[in-house]
Each structure stands twice: as C-alpha cells, then as structure tokens.
Chain A
Amino acid sequence: MSEPQITLYRLQACPFCERVVRTLDELDLPYRSRYVEPMHSERNVVKRVSGARSVPAIVDRETGVTMSESANIVEYLNGTYGEGGA
C-alpha cells in the first residue's frame, strides 16, 4: 500500500476542515488525517509544518506545497487535481 501524499491537519467537528475533506473526497484523493487539539497553544506540530497554528492545514508531498485556510486549500486542490487542473 502506498502512502498518501497529502496529510491533512484537522480539528474534530471543525466545519472548515470538513469542507477540505469534502473536496478531497470529491477528487478521490487519498490523505492522512491527523487530529490536533482544540487548544491553539497545543498545536505546535501544525505551526512546525505550516508556519501557523490554524487548521485546516495540508501538506502535499507530491507538489511540495504546504497550505492553511480552507478557501485557499479548496482552490489549490481543485486547481491541481480537478478537471482542467494541471
């Protein structure tokens, strides 16, 4: 089994995170799902990979892209993996 190239950092029941999950599912993209703590101060792993503690955040090893903010992520995923994408 090959490792998914995309890792999603998420918070349980976070609507913005679910929005990214919907897009990943629509595009049939496999991903690793990593849950972090609600407490902002306890999200050092997210800060380390993305530079900020906000979720959702994704790391795409296929393209080398790391990104926060659900609107940006959805746009990136659709643009990269959607129909008419690169």
Chain B
Amino acid sequence: MVEFDVVSLPETDHVAEGDTAPDFTRPLVNDEYWEDRALADVVDGPTLLLFHPMDGAFQGTYLYNTVDDHGWSDDVDVLGVSISTPYAHKRLLADRGDGVRIFSDPGADVIEEYGLAHDVDGMTGITESRPAVLLLDADRTVEHAWVASEHPEFPDGEAIDDAVAGLVD
C-alpha cells in the first residue's frame, strides 16, 4: 500500500443531504455539442451530479473510470461540473464517461455557490472544485452527498451504488 501524504481541507458549508440543489445555467457539453442549460430543466429524474477538479487532473480521470465501471449512467442521469472549457469536456467525453454530460463553470461561481471551492496551491487565480458527489431526485432534493475533506480523496463507489439503488428501486 502506497502511503499518500494527504492534506486536510478546511471545513466548508456545502450543499448537503436534504437541501435542494441550487439551480444554475451553464454550457452543458455532450459528446456532440454544447448549449446553455439550466440544471432545473435538465433534472427530470434521479441524477448523479459530480463536481470534480479540472479535466486532465487524475482525479477526474479516476472518477469517470469509476462511473463507467459501475455503469451508473445506465440507471440515472450523470452530470459533471468542472472549471474546464467545453472543448476540454468534449475531449474528456471522447475517452470516457459514456452517456455523461458535463457543465462548464470556468469562473467557479456555481462551485462557490455549492460550497465546494478549493484554491489549489501554486495555481494563482484558479479556483478549483473539490471532488463531490450529489445524488438528486427529480425535484433536485439531495438524497446522498459526499464531499472530499482531504486532498486527494476519492468517493466510495459502493456507497454510491447503494444510494443509486435506493433511489431507483
């Protein structure tokens, strides 16, 4: 077992279970095009909303490999959010994240509103998202929430499996 030298992230008042996920409009990217979409218009059933660090960072790569391995997009809508551009999202979706769509939030305003902002040391001027997984029902109520409290930290795929199964059944 390789020992990580993990950094604890400060406490944050993030969107949590029982909250209604705040609405926002951002370009939503699929494997063919992007267009402005409002979260409230896109969510029409159980939805996994994934916040992740910018495309290219290994955390996002791992996250979408996990999404594909568990086949979550077969059971629920899977939506990502990162600060990367639509062009970067399209490249990411060409390689992984089958059936996933990703919002582009370069100014990190949505990320800030969700209480997930993370200023990464050594990248001045860039506000990142900490990894977070929110499972929403059709009216955007948060049924399950996981937010990283260490850097790096990865979501527990089996816990998400259980939450998805609980909401879909």
A residues with CB within 8 A of B? 9, 32-37, 42, 44-45
Contacts and interface: CB of A to CB of B under 8 A. Distances in A.
Contact of A45 (B33, B36, B87): B33
A32 B33 CA distance: 12
A43 to B, nearest CB: 8
Assign chain B's interface to a size class. under 10
Contacts of B35: 32-35
A35 B34 contact: yes
What 8 pairs between A and B have smallest CB-CB spacing?
Answer: A45-B32, A34-B33, A34-B35, A36-B33, A35-B34, A45-B33, A33-B35, A32-B35
Contacts of B90: 37, 42
Contacts of A9: 33
B80 interface: no
B86 interface: yes
A35 B32 contact: no
Contacts of B34: 34-35
